[in-house]
């Protein structure tokens, strides 16, 4: 029974999170409670907990994590500009002659915003407020419009610079080092956030293309669900000039090239690129609109709030990981995976299903800091590629965020959707996009080189 103590701790934490208790304090509090139980039962000594101080020091001095507040600042700054609104308006005219042209323009805008901000919830809300009324005015089927916006809004989960990939990169880097040390490999090449960014480029592009092809097929074979763009139905009555089109598309493209291009070219690390992106976002905001002290204060305040929340969870998860290992949890998980029929493939399938189900009740930050540190070392010991694993987890979470009835993206859109759009339409609309993402995950499982090829070249 004592060997199941770490499992009880994990279940207790999940139960407390479902009851609505703060994540950081739940992780720390429950971990301390079970640490006391472990000490009383003689499973480990009080002095073993002193290594937590070293863990905290390592977290606070980790330069890779500096990218988190900078990318958040970049995303919050761009939210306050009219970049997305201008993009959608102008691309709608550009794609007007295509079947389901406005739906395709929504996907393209969402992809560009994902590559500029990397904040999923904010993208879903922004696209919902801006795109859904416009698509309904164009006589789009409400289910198709809602599904397109939800799926597009979650692209920030996989398209870099994604906050999820930054957090996953740090967790997987630590897990990979642990697994290599257990295998007796002391000079293994490190896994970085930049590796995940580069590895996510091809899957992200494939997903955007799949979305566009699906909408194009709907526009061709079922045009009544996605009528061609009709200017008379639009709330804006202007034809964009070449200059205005370039002026709306250039900022997010320029930002994407500056951030991702510098990482891919080896000019900058993700941390350095995040600083460039934050500064560039300020410049773009100044060009688009006048920057006031109030705007800067609110942007910094929002950035500080989100960053504080993430780091508080990170510190709590460090204590959880330590106590879990002291209770023998890592040995228990490794032993479980080794006894599974089907070997590594079955172990990966079990983990992916578990993460998918947990995505209904836990946020991606909670899963990254609670679940991934438990399962990743065991999978990496079995020879799983860390970059491929990180991208698969990110795609898996993106899929779970779309799945009814608990998908977070559905809640975000429901909050801003007009009352006449029923919740059932949102659920119906995302179903095909969920299938597309599952197909992509299956494809990456069969051809993992789609993830690993590009990082191996850079």
- Specify the pLDDT at position 234: 52
Q: How far apart are CA 323 and CA 342, in angstroms?
A: 30
Q: H-type helices in 230-292, by residue range?
A: 242-256, 262-264, 270-288
The domain locations on the chain are: 47-322+364-373+386-457
- Specify the pLDDT at position 437: 94
| Token output for 161 | 């610079």
Measured CA angle at 234 (ends 230, 235), to 5 deg: 170
Q: How far apart are CA 374 and CA 360, in angstroms?
A: 19
- Specify the pLDDT at position 432: 93
The long-range contacts involving 229-238, CB below 8 angstroms and separated by at least 24 positions, are 229/92, 229/93, 229/95, 229/96, 229/101, 229/102, 229/138, 230/138, 230/139, 231/93, 231/96, 233/137, 233/138, 233/139, 234/92, 234/134, 234/137, 234/138, 235/133, 235/134, 235/137, 236/89
pTM as predicted: 0.81
Tell me how far CA of residue 115 lies from CA of 161, 180, 287, 304, 376, in angstroms.
6, 32, 20, 22, 26
Which value, to the nearest 10 degrees, does the dihedral of the CA atoms of residues 376, 380, 385, 388 take? -10
Secondary-structure breakdown of the chain: helix, strand, coil percentages, each rounded to the nearest 5: 80, 0, 20
Which mean pLDDT values do the consecutive 10-residue runs of the chain (458 residues) have? 82 82 86 91 86 86 83 79 73 78 87 70 74 86 91 86 83 82 72 86 93 94 83 55 74 81 81 87 80 84 86 86 85 79 86 84 76 86 89 90 78 82 88 93 93 86
Which value, to the nearest 10 degrees, does the dihedral of the CA atoms of residues 149, 152, 154, 155 take? -170
Whether the CB-CB separation of 140 and 225 falls below 8 Å is answered with yes
Q: Residue 42: exposed, middle, or buried by beta-carbon count in 10 A (0-12, 13-18, 19+)?
A: exposed
Helix 372-381 to helix 163-182 angle (10° resolution) is: 50
Going by the DSSP 8-state scheme, the letter that residue 227 receives in this structure is P
Helix (H) or strand (E) holding 312: helix 293-326
Going by the DSSP 8-state scheme, the letter that residue 190 receives in this structure is P
- Specify the pLDDT at position 295: 83
Whether the CB-CB separation of 104 and 61 falls below 8 Å is answered with no
- Specify the pLDDT at position 121: 64
User: Which residue in 326, 335, 339 sits closest to 41, CA to CA?
Assistant: 326
């Amino acid at each position: 029974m004592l060997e199941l103590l770490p499992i009880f701790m994990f279940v207790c934490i999940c139960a407390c999170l479902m009851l609505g208790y703060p994540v950081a304090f739940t992780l720390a509090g429950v971990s301390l409670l079970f640490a006391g139980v472990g000490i009383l039962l003689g499973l480990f000594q009080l002095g073993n907990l002193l290594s937590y101080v070293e863990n905290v020091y390592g977290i606070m001095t980790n330069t890779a994590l500096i990218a988190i507040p900078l990318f958040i600042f970049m995303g919050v700054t761009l939210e306050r500009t009219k970049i997305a609104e201008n993009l959608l308006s102008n691309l709608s005219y550009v794609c007007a002659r295509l079947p389901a042209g406005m739906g395709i323009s929504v996907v393209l805008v969402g992809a560009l915003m994902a590559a500029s901000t990397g904040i999923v919830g904010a993208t879903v809300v922004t696209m919902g407020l801006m795109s859904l009324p416009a698509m309904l005015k164009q006589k789009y089927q409400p289910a198709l419009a809602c599904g397109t916006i939800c799926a597009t809004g979650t692209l920030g989960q996989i398209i870099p610079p994604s906050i999820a990939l930054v957090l996953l990169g740090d967790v997987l880097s630590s897990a990979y080092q642990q697994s290599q040390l257990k295998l007796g490999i002391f000079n293994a090449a490190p896994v970085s956030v930049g590796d995940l960014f580069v590895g996510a480029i091809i899957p992200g592009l494939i997903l955007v293309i799949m979305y566009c092809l699906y909408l194009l097929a709907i526009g061709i074979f079922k045009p009544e669900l996605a009528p061609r763009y009709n200017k008379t139905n639009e709330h804006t009555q202007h034809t964009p000039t070449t200059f205005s089109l370039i002026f709306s598309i250039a900022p997010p493209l320029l930002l994407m090239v500056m951030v991702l291009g510098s990482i891919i070219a080896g000019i900058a690390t993700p941390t350095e690129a995040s600083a460039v992106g934050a500064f560039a976002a300020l410049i773009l905001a100044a060009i688009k609109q006048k920057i006031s002290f109030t705007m800067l204060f609110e942007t910094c305040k929002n950035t500080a709030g989100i960053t504080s929340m993430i780091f508080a969870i990170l510190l709590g998860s460090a204590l959880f990981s330590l106590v879990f290992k002291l209770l023998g949890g890592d040995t228990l998980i490794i032993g479980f995976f080794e006894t599974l029929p089907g070997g590594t493939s079955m172990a990966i399938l079990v983990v992916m299903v578990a993460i998918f189900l947990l995505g209904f009740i836990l946020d991606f930050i909670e899963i990254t800091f609670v679940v991934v540190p438990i399962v990743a070392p065991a999978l990496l010991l079995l020879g799983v590629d860390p970059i491929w694993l990180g991208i698969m987890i990110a795609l898996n979470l993106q899929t779970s965020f779309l799945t009814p009835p608990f998908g977070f993206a559905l809640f975000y859109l429901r909050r801003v959707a007009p009352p006449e759009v029923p919740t059932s339409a949102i659920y119906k609309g995302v179903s095909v996009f969920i299938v597309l993402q599952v197909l992509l995950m299956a494809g990456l499982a069969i051809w993992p080189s789609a993830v690993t090829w590009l990082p191996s070249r850079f």
